Amino acid sequence: MGSIFVKLILMISVFSLFVFFLNKILRKWLNVEKKKPFSYDHVNAKHKKIDWTIRIASIVLLLIGYSVNITRVPTERIWFLETYFILFAFMIVSETVRAVMEKRYAENGNNYIFTIVQMVVFSILLFSLFITDFFGLFDNLN
């Protein structure tokens, strides 16, 4: 059991370092300012309104998906109402809206490129973790 946590921490550390250095290189190359950690700055009021609409819709979808799938047999769940799918879709839609708003309204024209690259890298990371069952990390739990 302990080795699983060590592997998980090691995997998270490697991916975190990769994302950290990728962000550092991209920021320097694209001349994009570093934002505060764990903050979400909206480009303008329109972006804020659209973002909150997406967030509320995602929460509603999560609740609907949970209530529908919890009543079904585990092998017959509706895949697009699963939590992981709704959260992944939320991330893609939210970051796409951010990139579009940055392209149209941000002072630095390179902000949207940074956002798109971040979204693509994070999507590939999440998708690869999901497809490979965390690179086989949980294969020998039983």
- CA–CA distance, 86 with 4 (Å, rounded to integer): 27
pTM summary value: 0.83
What is the count of structural domains for the chain? 1
In a domain, 129, yes or no: yes
* pLDDT over 60 (residue 142): no
Residue 3's pLDDT band, with cuts at 50, 70 and 90, is: confident
- CA–CA distance, 109 with 104 (Å, rounded to integer): 8
Range of the domain at 115: 2-136
In a domain, 142, yes or no: no
In a domain, 53, yes or no: yes
Chain mean pLDDT for the chain: 88
pLDDT tens digits for 43-59? 899 999 999 999 999 99
- CA–CA distance, 98 with 128 (Å, rounded to integer): 24
Q: What are phi and psi of 124, to 5 degrees?
A: -60, -40
In a domain, 93, yes or no: yes
